[in-house]
Amino acid sequence: MDFELTDEQKMLSETVTRFVAETYDFSKREHALRSADGWSREAWAALAEMGLLGLPFAEEDGGFGGSGVEMMLIMEALGRGLMVEPYFATVVLAGGVLRHGASAAQRAAIVPGVIAGERILALAHDEAGQARHTLAARTTARPAGDGWIIDGAKIAVIHGQSAGTLIVSATTGEGLGLFLVDARADGVSIEATRGYDGVPVASVRLAGVAVGADALIGEAGTGAAILDRSFDEARAALVAEAVGAMAETFDITVDYLKTRQQFGVAIGSFQALQHRAVDMLMQLELSRSMAVLAALSLDGDADQRRRNIAAAKAQIGKSGRMVGQEAVQMHGAIGITAEYKVGHAFKRLTAIDALLGDRDHHLARLVELGGVYPAE
């Protein structure tokens, strides 16, 4: 695999990293979290103006046809800023379902609005009592006339309260189906809340929601396959976001060690703390390498893609926990205060580990797949 970035990719990374550093400091994030939406419309419009909302979509849909590497670079930069805007929910997660399952007519009706920053999407899949990595659903969709009637309840719908369009998973007589549902349709009720990392999430209830035949993405029974492919892309994006959050946490911690005085000297001069900082850096670089591997695997062999991404997700689960814990401990009490970025980064890293299967799940998945490189 070629791990060298092209000049265009380097420029993309520098541009997005600079944008986040200059326009989205920690006070801006705090202001966004306190807003009614729980995120900044201004920042979202800026992401749209830069063309970042259209990066992964095909050129025929109005996008740029970006690869997993470009998505990795964007997510790492957003992770450094701990951005709470609905990029992952709309462009990566729900957008992935559109890219891999929607018809040309469905994409034409939705994708241009996403690219322009005018349309927010959310994937409503998780349910109470179900594992967060499952491809099954208890929500049902039954045929009715020329359409479907959907009944069920969803939890932890990321940015669900802001979405104009929901992609709802439901069991049909032929297997799992994915349906486009207007968030304002009769029978849809949405209750907004926040995750422990501050990101807006929602509970969605669907009571006799009627949708047309054109609401079905792909064919009835193909939803699990579409989700499986989309979830791997989303996991790779989460790994990259985690690398950004860890890198920011490491930089803040090193700066703190250089400036915090004890016994008349900077605490960074203590050898024990230097060793702990080096351990943090090793975990960060391990995760960065796995993020590159995951991104480069997205367009390759399906079985190897699954193995590589499971390994990457398991690695950032371990590394994120270690980097977050060390940063908090070396900062002392300030590390867990609401006014300091380190504690928020640790919460986000914890949430990333839980999303779409935690470290334990992906280690077990690797065992089932025979390891990263199974013996023939």
Q: What is the CATH number of the domain that holds 49?
A: 1.10.540.10
Rounded to 5°, angle at Cα 34 from 33 and 40:
55
Mean pLDDT for 206-233 is 97
Domain count of the chain?
A: 3
Residue count (the chain): 376
What is the percent of the chain where pLDDT is above 70?
99
pLDDT of residue 376: 65
- Rg value, the chain, Cα: 21
pLDDT band at residue 1 under the 50/70/90 scheme:
low
Residue ending a domain, among 119, 149, 173, is: 119
Averaged pLDDT of the chain: 95
The domain that contains 193 carries what CATH number? 2.40.110.10
Q: Does 265 have pLDDT greater than 80?
A: yes
Do 203 and 263 sit in the same domain of this protein?
Answer: no
Mean pLDDT for 108-135 is 95
Assess contact for 232 and 306: CB atoms under 8 A: yes
The domain that contains 364 carries what CATH number? 1.20.140.10
- The verdict on residue 375 lying in a domain is no
- The verdict on residue 2 lying in a domain is no
Q: Does 2 have pLDDT greater than 70?
A: no
Q: What span, in angstroms and rounded, lies between the C-alpha atoms of 281 and 194?
A: 31
Q: Which residue has the tokens 């939890």?
A: 155
Do 214 and 263 sit in the same domain of this protein?
Answer: no
Q: Which residue has the tokens 């009592």?
A: 129
What is the percent of the chain where pLDDT is above 90?
90
Residue ending a domain, among 88, 119, 150, is: 119
Do 198 and 235 sit in the same domain of this protein?
Answer: no
- The verdict on residue 311 lying in a domain is yes
Q: Does 147 have pLDDT greater than 90?
A: yes
Question: Residue 49 burial by CB count (10 A; 0-12/13-18/19+): exposed, middle or buried?
Answer: exposed
pLDDT of residue 371: 87
pLDDT of residue 10: 95
Q: Does 162 have pLDDT greater than 70?
A: yes
pLDDT of residue 128: 95
Mean pLDDT for 268-288 is 95
CA 90 to mean position of chain CA atoms: 10
Do 208 and 108 sit in the same domain of this protein?
Answer: no
Q: What is the pLDDT of residues 340-360, one digit of tens each?
A: 999 999 999 999 999 999 999
Q: What span, in angstroms and rounded, lies between the C-alpha atoms of 320 and 256?
A: 19
Q: What is the pLDDT of residues 77-87, one digit of tens each?
A: 999 999 999 99
Domain, as residue range, for 16? 7-119
Assess contact for 341 and 327: CB atoms under 8 A: no
pTM value is 0.96
Q: Does 302 have pLDDT greater than 80?
A: yes
Residue ending a domain, among 187, 219, 251, is: 219
